[in-house]
Amino acid sequence: MEAFLISTSVVALAEMGDKTQLLSLVLAARFRKPVPIVLGILAATIVNHALAGAVGAWITRYLGESALHWILGISFIVMAIWILIPDKIDEDDVGGHSKWGVFGTTVIAFFLAEMGDKTQIATVMLAAKYSTAYAWVVAGTTLGMMLANAPVVWLGDRIVKKVPLRAVHVVSAVIFLVLGLVALYAPVRPLLA
């Protein structure tokens, strides 16, 4: 359950102001059909995060525990810095897929926008950290994405204008920094005992 709760909260916070959240806003403004947009976001996120989680779980099999702790720790700290850099999206990123309908356009655009994104990388790292709880990590990161994006689709820029994105980015960065420091401390702890 820890993997689920941490995955949900970390991704929901990291997603605030992220390019995929901005993409959700653009899709909502362009199509004005919230149900197929939200279902498209859900479908794209499940596939994307399941693949990212599988990569994270796979990595744990081939790295020693000590190396994994150091890689995870440094990755979480880099993620803390990355979160402080706001994302932007061009409306051109959404265009060109209208022949797929609202749902198909959303799935394609959202899946592609999420490739190499902060939340995808966070999913890889969380799945590596909680390798025995792969399904909980994917469920948590997917729920986190939906918590951050579905309200944007339905309520649009009214929410975005009221949420202090800078504060959310700082809180997210602090969470990733703490996770990184804990992961870095973990391989040292047995040596100190």
Per residue of the chain (193 residues), what is the pLDDT tens digit? 889 999 999 888 888 777 788 788 778 877 778 999 999 999 999 999 999 888 887 877 777 666 666 776 777 787 677 767 765 554 444 454 456 688 998 898 888 888 877 788 888 888 888 888 889 999 999 999 999 999 989 886 566 566 566 666 677 678 778 877 876 776 544 433 3
pLDDT attached to residue 137: 94
Candidates 7, 2, 1, 15; CA nearest to 137 is 7
User: Tell me, what's the pLDDT at 35?
Assistant: 93
Q: b/e for 137-149, b at 16 or more Cβ within 10 A?
A: bbbbbbbbbbbbb
CB 122 within 8 A of CB 40: no
Q: Which of 163, 48, 53, 169 is nearest to 106 (CA)?
A: 48
The answer to whether 153 touches 38, Cβ cutoff 8 Å, is yes
pLDDT at 87: 53
Return the pLDDT at 169.
66
The three-state secondary structure class of 111 is: helix
What local confidence, expressed as pLDDT, does residue 5 receive?
93
pLDDT at 118: 79
What is the structure's pLDDT at 7? Answer: 92
Q: How many angstroms separate the CA atoms of 101 and 81, rounded? A: 37
pLDDT value for 190 = 43
CA distance 53 to 119: 11
What pLDDT score does 38 carry?
95
List the structure tokens of 101.
């309908």
